[in-house]
């Protein structure tokens, strides 16, 4: 008998344009699961609205992300590519899990602390931002996910999803598979180009802090030239030189070579030459992705068909789990008249 394939789920939220961090830490890692696993890759629009978004821009970004997914090598015939809000079971399951999660564990999420710390004083914090890890748990659990390929910043949230699943299973009966985070070895955390102590994020206000997958070559050259380094002047791979270390990590993740090998290439050379090499490496990697994504963005009907079919497949799987959950907590099934 054919063995049942393990299930993979992951997502990116359209809270900004896709960065090199998202591409190396998430998307590139997703591609390698496609052949041997049943993969669900989502565009998490419901997560994006935990912070206010410009409606028109949000819709545009969703399509852009889908185009980048496909252009980067996600195959819509192998993997299910879909938009989160097109599968209502995410929101419904999220409520059932909100009643299983507790305030204490949500308050301990470091990302919530970091994101709220960045907000200006007197800015109101949406309850959605606080509850976001529960929606993420729902995203993962309704597909009976085994593996969640994410950057290291999301590890804590995947662990929370696992805790919530375990609690639901023991309060009712076995319902969910316990998911496990899969972190990319070479690109677990790409850092901010202006402040290499924090991670690169698409929602950052300073556009020099990130490289976008759709950035033009001259923009990439400029941003890398401006990337913060140090006064040592030697290309070393050490925590004492976090800016340089980050640039080495970027090259190492793109080329699939060890950081030490990158260091060797620049023995006796300065930062200018090194940065030019980093920029050209990124440009070369992103060129085919940009060409394909820009072409896809002119084929709206094709994209619609892809996310339409993706939603159908995702809905089918998600509804099965949601019905189980509803039954277990004691909701009366509706009658169809
Ligand atoms: P935001 O600032 O709005 O939170 P983000 O850049 O953190 O945006 P997310 O949508 O939160 O992006 O995360 C999508 C995926 O990309 C997750 O798997 C996350 O772990 C991964 N990721 C995000 N930033 C990085 C990074 N700097 N390095 C590696 N992986 C990253
Ligand atoms: Mg994030």
Does the reported pTM lie above 0.85?
Answer: yes
Active-site residue (options: 60, 78, 113, 202): 202
Q: Are residues 151 and 217 in the same domain?
A: no
48 close to ligand 1 (CB < 6 Angstrom): no
Q: Are residues 313 and 285 in the same domain?
A: no
pLDDT attached to residue 1: 61
How much is the average pLDDT of 59-65? Answer: 98
How much is the average pLDDT of 16-41? Answer: 97
Domain hosting 284: range is: 207-295
Active-site residue (options: 28, 199, 245, 275): 199
pLDDT attached to residue 16: 95
Supply the CATH number for residue 277's domain: 1.10.240.10
Q: Are residues 269 and 315 in the same domain?
A: no
- Number of structural domains in the chain: 2
pLDDT attached to residue 123: 81
Residue of 13, 16, 17, 26 to mutate, ligand 1, most atoms within 8 A of C-beta: 26
54 in a structural domain = yes
Q: Distances from the Cα of 283 to the Cαs of 185, 206, 244, 250, in angstroms?
A: 22, 21, 18, 12
Supply the CATH number for residue 140's domain: 3.40.50.620
The alpha carbons of the chain give a radius of gyration, in whole angstroms, of 21
Percentage of the chain beyond pLDDT 70 is 99
Q: Are residues 214 and 162 in the same domain?
A: no
- The answer, yes or no, to whether residue 241 has pLDDT greater than 70, is yes
Residue of 9, 25, 41 to mutate, ligand 1, most atoms within 8 A of C-beta: 25
Q: Are residues 321 and 268 in the same domain?
A: no
CA 318 – CA 305 distance, rounded (Å): 20
19 in a structural domain = yes
Q: Are residues 42 and 135 in the same domain?
A: yes
18 in a structural domain = yes
Question: Which ligand sits closest to the CA of 195?
Answer: 1
- Could you tell me the pLDDT band of residue 2, with boundaries at 50, 70 and 90? low
Q: Distances from the Cα of 67 to the Cαs of 87, 97, 124, 143, in angstroms?
A: 19, 32, 34, 23
Annotated active-site residue 115? The verdict is yes
- The answer, yes or no, to whether residue 81 has pLDDT greater than 70, is yes
**Cα–ligand 2 centroid distance for 333 (angstroms):** 37
């Amino acid at each position: 008998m054919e063995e049942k394939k393990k299930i993979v789920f992951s997502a990116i939220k359209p809270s900004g344009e896709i960065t090199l961090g998202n591409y190396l830490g998430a998307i590139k890692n997703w591609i390698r699961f496609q052949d041997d696993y049943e993969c669900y890759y989502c565009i998490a629009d419901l997560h994006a609205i935990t912070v206010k978004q410009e409606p028109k821009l949000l819709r545009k970004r969703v399509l852009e992300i889908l185009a980048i997914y496909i252009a980067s090598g996600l195959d819509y015939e192998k993997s299910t590519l879909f938009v989160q809000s097109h599968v209502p079971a995410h929101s419904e399951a999220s409520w059932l899990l909100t009643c299983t999660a507790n305030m204490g564990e949500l308050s301990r999420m470091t990302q919530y602390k970091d994101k709220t710390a960045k907000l200006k004083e007197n800015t109101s914090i949406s309850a959605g931002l606080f509850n976001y890890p529960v929606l993420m748990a729902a995203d993962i659990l309704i597909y009976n996910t085994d593996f969640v390929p994410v950057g290291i910043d999301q590890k804590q949230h995947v662990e929370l999803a696992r805790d919530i699943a375990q609690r639901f299973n023991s309060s009712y009966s076995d319902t969910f598979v316990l998911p496990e985070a899969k972190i990319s070895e070479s690109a677990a955390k790409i850092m901010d180009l202006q402040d290499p102590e924090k991670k690169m994020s698409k929602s950052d206000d300073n556009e020099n802090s990130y490289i976008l997958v759709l950035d033009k070559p001259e923009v990439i050259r400029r941003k890398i030239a401006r990337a913060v380094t140090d006064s040592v002047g030697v290309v070393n791979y050490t925590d004492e030189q976090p800016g340089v270390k980050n640039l080495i990590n970027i090259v190492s993740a793109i080329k699939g070579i060890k950081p030490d090998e990158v260091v060797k290439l620049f023995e006796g050379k300065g930062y200018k030459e090194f940065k030019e090499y980093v920029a050209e490496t990124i440009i070369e990697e992103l060129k085919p992705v940009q060409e394909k994504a820009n072409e896809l963005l002119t084929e709206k009907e094709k994209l619609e068909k892809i996310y339409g079919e993706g939603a159908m497949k995702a809905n089918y799987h998600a509804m099965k789990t949601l019905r189980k959950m509803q039954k277990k907590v004691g909701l009366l099934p509706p009658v169809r008249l």
